[in-house]
Structure 1
Amino acid sequence: MQRLGLQDSDTVYIWLADKPEATEAWTRLEEILLRAQSVNQLNGRFIQERLGNVDEALTVLKEAAAATLGYGPDGTQPTINGGGRFLGSA
């Protein structure tokens, strides 16, 4: 496409003007790509939401685990150290 000078959507459609079958195929491809992008964005939002839920659940569990340890010699509750990575960083 670059060799033909087809740099944007307008030039592609100008080039396809006398190729009805190719125009139809190109239009279907664009529709499929738009749908795939929408689904990908939706999946990304779901993943972020679920990671937030998991992070909240881990915080609650860490706090509950720390509460079972009692108090240290200085009168403070010990902290529970988590893993070395943040959620979603793998």
Structure 2
Amino acid sequence: MPLEALIKRRAGVLGLSALVEAYPYNVPEFMPQILMDLSIHVNDPQPIQMTVKKTLSNFRRTHHDNWHDHKQMFTDGQLVILTDILVSPTYYA
């Protein structure tokens, strides 16, 4: 990937991450789509990958206590994607 494209992608990911971090205990109606957009980049080169993983991890940590209510904001497909990303694969190994 050319450096310029990598810089633009990193900037976009940082912007989306900032939106997620701005709502540590709420799930506004735009949040599920932002998380889906971020999830696409979970395997991107560093430092993008680290930013996405940290953002998703922080989301999981801050929304854990009220997850029963928060998960109502997501579609079934979005919940499957989030679960796949947030549950460590070594847990089942």
The interval holding the TM-score normalised by the smaller chain is under 0.3
Bigger radius of gyration = 1
- By relative contact order (CA 8 Å, sep 6+), the higher-ranking structure is 2
TM-score by length of 2: 0.26
TM-score by length of 1: 0.27
Relative to its length, the structure with more helix (as a share) is 2
